[in-house]
Structure 1
Amino acid sequence: MRVLLTGGAGYIGSHTLLKLLQEQNEVLVLDNFSNSSMESLRRVKQLANRDFDFRNGDICNSTLMNDTFNAFKPDAVIHFAGLKAVGESNDKPLDYYTHNVTGSVELLRCMRRHGCKQIVFSSSATVYGEADYLPYDEQHPLRPTNPYGRTKYFVEEIIKDWTASWSEASAVLLRYFNPVGAHDSGRIGEDPLSTPNNLVPFISQVAIGRLDKLNVFGSDYDTRDGTGERDYIHVDDLARAHLSAVHFASKNKACEAINVGTGRGATVLEMVKAFERASGRPIPLNMAARRNGDVAKSIADVSKANRLLDWEAIHNIDDMCRSTWNWQSLNPLGYK
């Protein structure tokens, strides 16, 4: 299969790229490096011992997109490209709507123009908002609470309309919960270009000495230890889910939203303890007030992924923390 990977140099994109190459797919990566590194692509090429096509550019550039589709003629698209920081989206909402929504519309236009009928979209559990019940299943009401989540929700709706208007099209909307971890080799992993927005990369930078301490936002939630509880998923499991989704889209003419998680929750303090076990280093903590917009618990119902994609997560939080520490200790400054 010929697969166009938008945002393929990023954290999840690079791990998915490696899986695609290992399964002997032909791949073209399109990335503008706004939050990624060319070094990740170089390392994937070494790990896979296979080459792939690459274009440096933005999905909002219609000329570039048309040239790319003309030259590569993809059978399917896996769409990662977009801005992804919740806090930043509150400060720069128009940037998020431009890159995430307008860029996705341009991509879908290009796919229709060139007869590319299959898309797997990198969505997010943030589309659910506050829980009416847990675990979240795909029928839960969608009430995103920030601009980032709303861009994911809007693009999901646009893709649903796109597939409804084109009987030959198919789409899988993968709603990620909390991706963490790194490739077992320690060669590729999550490398935030600034202070991490997510828990585990922040913990790993504290452990390696780049940051002084971890701020724990909220210790009075209705959870086992008072700290927020999340469904964390290993990036390797998530990458496998994308391959399963591409295979599903190639055989089914539909648009399906599917949760990707483990179905199990871990609190902030449980993740800290797991990372201390993995690294052998203490993680200094600062207990702080809750942040606006944070929910107490976010856990996935993954039965639909099990049923439709024949997929399930196989890694636990100790695996996630060990692989993260392996990546961070081998690359204390990330890809720099």
Structure 2
Amino acid sequence: MRILVTGGAGYLGSHTVVALVEAGHDVVVVDDLSRGNPVAVSRAEVLTGQRIPLHAVDVADIDALERIFDTERVEAVVHLAGRRTTGSRAQGPLDFYETNLGATFTLLRCMVWYGVDRLVAASSAAVYGARARVPSREDQTVRTDSPFGRAAGMTEQVLADVAHAQRGLRVGMLRCFTTAGAHPSGTIGEPAARGEGLLTAMGQVALGLRERLDVRGGDHPTPDGTPMRDVVHVDDVAAGFVAALGALDETDGPFSVWNAGSGRPASVLDVLRTFETVTGHRVPYRTVAAPAGTAAVSYADPALAEDELGWRPVRDLVDICADHWRWQSRNPAGYPGLIGGERPWRGGVGHRLRLVSPSAPWGA
């Protein structure tokens, strides 16, 4: 199938693009590059040996998106675009609601107009809330307690309502838990310069880019006092999207939700100790106050995804730390820029770049 991947130049997006192409699909990427990077798409091309068109437009721009649907002959959509964390550009709840819901509205309009009837979208474990029963099951009551979680829950509700109202439309949602790691080649991974992920922060300490790690919360009711999370390799999550896309025609109804989790929670200190063992680097840390509403424990019951999709994570915490370190140690500042005096990225549909070799270490 020819699949449109929104947010395909981002962290999860670039890995999902590789997984889809390796599964035999043609892929087209739409990404406004506010969080993604065109280098990630170019490196995905090298990894797969396939050309991957990149349209640098906002998914919420209905005129630009309609032009893409008009020219690219899209047959299905994997929707990963949206704001995931609060960064410097985020202004609070309105930022999540406007960005995430707006992109979903526009995408659905274009899908209906052009008769595209298969969609798999990313949701979040944040919909379960900080006081959720664990392991979290897809059929339990959703009691989200954060703006991001509520925006994710609203998006799920919109997609469910449209799927039930629009004849022939099939929609699947993956509730992603803590996604980490990188492609084993070390060529695509989490943009290290942002420093938002736990492993990225650990890597920055190991590389001497920061003095120590701040562990948010040390008095939780867990064995070592630090929060416990369901950490899943990004390539496993990407494989989940491929499996969900293939299972849409086999589901009982027009709308389905699956947990993209392992069911194996790890504490922050578990991750830290594994990272130290894998890398051979000590990571000094200090405990700081956790943000209000931080869940002590969050992890999935993955049984439904295994039963209906035939999917379950196959990589463990050692794999996650090793692959992440291979990526970050080679790319400590994230993706490189242009070389040879070329002009900066200006956006535009179908624009291609000459980029630093994906096999070369950063700065080479």
Q: TM-score, normalised by structure 1?
A: 0.96
Alignment map for 1:162-201 (pairs within 5 Å):
162-194=162-194, 196-201=195-200
Rounded to whole Å, the distance in 2 between the matches of 1:235 and 1:132 is: 24
Kept in 2, the 8 Å contact 1:218–1:289? The answer is yes
Determine the structure 2 residue equivalent to 1:215: 214
Which shows bigger deviation, 104-113 or 284-293? Answer: 284-293
Which whole-Å CA distance do the structure 2 matches of 1:132 and 1:263 have between them? 14
User: 1:232 and 1:11 mapped to 2: Cα distance?
Assistant: 15
Instruction: Describe the SS at the equivalent of 2:173.
Output: strand
- Contact 2:123–2:175 under 8 Å retained in 1: yes
Q: Secondary structure at the match of 2:100?
A: helix
1:236 aligns with 2:235: yes
Among all aligned residue pairs of Structure 1 and Structure 2, give the percentage whose two residues are the same amino acid: 35
1:89 CA drift (Å): 8.9
Are the aligned partners of 2:41 and 2:54 in contact in 1 as well (CA < 8 Å)? no
Q: Which has the higher helix share?
A: 1
Shift of 1:198: 2.6
Aligned to 1:308: 308
In the TM superposition, residue 129 of structure 1 has moved relative to its aligned partner by 0.1
Q: Within 1, Cα distance between the matches of 2:156 and 2:33?
A: 24
Measure how far apart 1:164 and its partner are.
0.6
Partner of 1:10: 10
Contact conserved, 1:5 with 1:27, CA < 8 A, in 2? yes
Q: Which residue of the partner structure matches residue 39 of structure 1?
A: 39
Asked whether the equivalents of residues 193 and 332 of structure 2 are also in contact (C-alpha less than 8 Å), the reply is no
Separation in structure 2 between the aligned mates of residue 145 and residue 47 of structure 1, nearest angstrom: 40
Asked if 2 retains the 8 angstrom alpha-carbon contact of 1:244 and 1:311, the reply is: yes
In structure 1, stretches of 5+ residues that fail to align are none
Distance (Å, rounded) in 2 between the aligned partners of 1:162 and 1:192? 37
Supply the AA of the counterpart residue of 1:23.
A
Give the Cα–Cα distance (whole angstroms) in 2 for the partners of residues 79 and 173 of structure 1: 9
State the Cα distance separating 1:24 from its structure 2 match: 2.2
What letter is aligned with 2:326? N
Amino acid of the structure 1 residue aligned with 2:94: L
Query: Is the Cα contact below 8 Å between 2:41 and 2:52 reproduced in 1?
Result: no
Residue 128 (structure 1) aligns with: 128
CA distance in 2, matches of 1:34, 1:132: 32
Cα separation, 2, equivalents of 1:295 and 1:92: 20
1:313-328 correspondence to structure 2 within 5 Å: 313-328=313-328
Could you tell me which residue of structure 2 aligns to residue 21 of structure 1?
21
Amino acid at match of 2:176: Y
Letter in 2 for 1:222: P
Structure 2: how far apart are the matches of 1:192 and 1:107? 29
CA distance change for structure 1 residues 295 and 87 in 2, over 3 Å: closer, same or farther?
A: farther
What secondary structure is seen at the aligned counterpart in 2 of 1:231?
strand
> After TM superposition, what 4+ stretches of structure 1 lie above 3 angstroms from structure 2?
86-91, 250-253
Give CA-to-partner distance per residue, 1:204-234, whole Å, 9 cap, x none.
2221222221111111111111110000000
Shift of 1:199: 1.5
Contact (CA 8 Å) 1:137, 1:300: kept in 2 or not?
A: yes
- Give 2:260's aligned residue: 260
The Cα of 1:250 is off from its aligned counterpart by 4.0
Of 206-215 and 153-162, deviating more is 206-215
Distance, in Å, in 2 between the alignment partners of 1:75 and 1:292 is 43
Which residue pairs with 1:81 in the alignment?
81
- Mapped contact 2:192–2:328 kept (Cα < 8 A): no
Secondary structure, counterpart of 1:184 in structure 2: coil
Q: How many residues align?
A: 335
> Could you say what secondary structure the match of 1:27 adopts?
strand
Once residues 90 and 76 of structure 1 are traced to their aligned partners in structure 2, the CA distance between those partners, rounded to angstroms, is 30
CA distance in 1: counterparts of 2:139 and 2:21, whole angstroms: 34
Contact 1:3 1:26 in 2 (8 A): yes
User: Residue 203 of structure 1 aligns to which amino acid in structure 2?
Assistant: M
Q: Is the 8 Å Cα contact of residues 15 and 188 (structure 2) preserved in structure 1? A: yes
C-alpha distance in structure 1 between counterparts of 2:332 and 2:89, whole Å: 28
- Given that 1:190 and 1:201 are in contact with CA atoms closer than 8 Å, whether structure 2 keeps it comes out as yes
2: distance between equivalents of 1:191 and 1:9? 11
Structure 1 range deviating more: 142-151 or 270-279: 142-151
Distance 2:106 2:193 in 1: 27
1:132 deviation in Å?
Answer: 4.1
Equivalent-residue separation in structure 1 for 2:13 and 2:249 (angstroms): 20
Partner of 1:203: 202
Partners in 2 of 1:56 and 1:216 — Cα distance? Answer: 36
The alpha-carbon deviation at position 130 of structure 1 amounts to 2.6
Distance in 1, Cα, partners of 2:106 & 2:198: 33
Equivalent position amino acid for 1:239 in 2: A
CA distance in structure 2 between the aligned counterparts of 1:86 and 1:299, rounded to whole angstroms: 22
Q: Deviations over 1:138-191 (max 9, x none)?
A: 012212222211111111000000101013011111000000000010000000
| Cα distance in 2 for residues equivalent to 1:98 and 1:291 | 24
Q: Is the 8 A contact 1:90 1:147 kept in 2?
A: no
Q: CA RMSD in A?
A: 1.4
**Cα distance in 2 for residues equivalent to 1:280 and 1:53:** 40
User: Which stretch of the first structure deviates more once superposed, 97-106 or 268-277?
Assistant: 97-106
Q: For the Cα contact (< 8 Å) 1:271–1:317, is it kept in 2? A: yes
